[in-house]
């Protein structure tokens, strides 16, 4: 079972608790970007549940609650398949109270509905990205959103790194504060990097080195061990001069990968790469697979998962860890044939007697599929946003909120 006596990092922004919202119109930017199946049914509602503490607090305080979120990538025009209608139904069930869903985002119908609100009422606007002004951070669109409320609350950690109208623009016109989820996410991720209990281990996976370079550079003098798996491992392995067959490699990153590896080792950071892997000719469930060492991947084959010796190596590296951050899977875990490595690492992280933090959409899905999510100390709701924090960057959606 995961443990960890841990004080969350310094959070220097005002939160919804710090201001008077009684009777006020409160626009809460939430992240309801949930997965839907082909019948438009929600397959995982964790992001909706994560926002409940902030929404319930606003309701209990007698605020008039207006919720805004995006869903998917509709490219600035209405797309029926990406409507927030199913989200409104699920939210109504979770809150156990009526949620008025509006098929518009701005305009006379929305204004009228907001005017009629009573304390404790909840409105959910249609998908903000149906309007091109959202992703374009259009000033007029931001002003329209702001005009319906007295206070702005950002509780959408998953979108806090996006310079969009509902994330940064609205805060130009009405006072902006953080919700509970945003505070918790930033507190955990910033706190763990600035003040980890040691040994501190970072596990990085996923397809590409380029997406994790900033994290590796920022953590270089902070971590004790770095474990690299997933497709990105093979850029490091090729940079060391080994044959990697048809495995995913970023050839323009080879020199940088080798430089990072040598710098980490110079800094006395223990650096782990897979020693064996599961290879196939193609990424297909029925493809023939075989187990080889990472130094002997045959031409025409590609590595799609880490092997059992790598699992053992990584698990042993985690045994004495006191703080673990994991971002990115160890292979193509969505297919059974290539899921064992990721699930085994998920179990090793869950078994670590440590503060364990999992970030990134793919990684949190892996942890849930492995059935160990209850044993992880903290699962982040944001992939890109958590990576930017781990890189030491300031999130644009946080920067615009009122300082404490």
**Cβ-count burial 108-126 (b if 16+ within 10 Å, e if not):** eebeebbeebeeebbbbbb
**N-terminal to C-terminal alpha carbon distance within the chain:** 35
The 3 state secondary structure assigned to 292-316 is EECCCCCCCCEEEEECHHHHHHHHH
Q: What is the DSSP letter of 134?
A: H
Tokens of 102: 């509006």
Tokens of 341: 């490595």
Catalytic residues: 47, 208, 361, 384
Inter-CA distances, 361 with 40, 114, 227, 269, 403, Å: 19, 34, 19, 27, 29
Give the closest residue to 69 by CA, choosing from 136, 137, 134, 13: 134
- The residues that bridge with 398 in the sheet, in sequence order, are none
Rg (CA), the chain: 22
């Amino acid at each position: 079972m995961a443990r960890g006596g841990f004080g969350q990092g310094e959070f220097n922004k005002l939160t919804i608790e710090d201001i008077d919202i009684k009777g006020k119109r409160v626009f809460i930017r939430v992240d309801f970007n949930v997965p839907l199946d082909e019948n438009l049914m929600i397959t995982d509602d964790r992001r909706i549940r994560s926002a409940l503490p902030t929404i319930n607090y606003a309701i209990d305080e007698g605020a008039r609650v207006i919720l805004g979120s995006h869903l998917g990538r509709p490219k600035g025009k209405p797309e029926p398949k990406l409507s927030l209608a199913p989200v409104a139904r699920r939210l109504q069930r979770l809150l156990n109270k009526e949620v008025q869903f509006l098929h518009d985002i701005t305009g006379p119908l929305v204004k009228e509905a907001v005017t009629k609100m009573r304390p404790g009422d909840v409105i959910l606007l249609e998908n903000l990205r149906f309007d091109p002004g959202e992703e374009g951070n259009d000033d007029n669109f931001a002003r329209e959103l702001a005009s319906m409320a007295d206070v702005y609350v950002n509780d959408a950690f998953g979108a806090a790194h996006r310079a969009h109208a509902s994330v940064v623009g609205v805060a130009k016109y009405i006072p902006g504060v953080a919700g509970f989820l945003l505070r918790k996410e930033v507190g955990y991720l910033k706190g763990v990097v600035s003040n980890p209990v040691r040994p501190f281990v970072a596990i990085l996976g996923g397809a590409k080195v380029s997406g994790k370079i900033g994290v590796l550079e920022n953590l270089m003098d902070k971590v004790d061990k770095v474990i690299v798996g997933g497709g990105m491992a093979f850029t490091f392995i090729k940079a060391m001069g080994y044959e990697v067959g048809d495995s995913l490699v970023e050839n323009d990153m080879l020199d940088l990968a080798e430089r990072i590896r040598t710098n980490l080792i110079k800094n006395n950071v223990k650096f782990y790469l897979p020693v064996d892997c599961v290879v196939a000719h193609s990424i297909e469930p029925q493809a023939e697979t075989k187990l080889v060492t990472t130094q002997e991947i045959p031409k025409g084959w590609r590595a799609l998962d880490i092997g059992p010796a790598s699992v053992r190596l990584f698990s042993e590296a985690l045994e004495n860890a006191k703080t673990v951050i994991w971002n990115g899977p160890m292979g193509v875990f969505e297919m059974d044939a290539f899921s064992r490595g990721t699930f085994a690492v998920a179990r090793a992280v869950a078994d670590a007697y440590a503060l364990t933090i999992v970030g990134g959409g793919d990684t949190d899905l892996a942890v849930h599929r492995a059935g160990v999510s209850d044993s992880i100390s903290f699962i982040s709701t944001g992939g890109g946003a958590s990576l930017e924090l781990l890189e030491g960057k300031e999130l644009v959606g946080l920067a615009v909120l009122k300082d404490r």
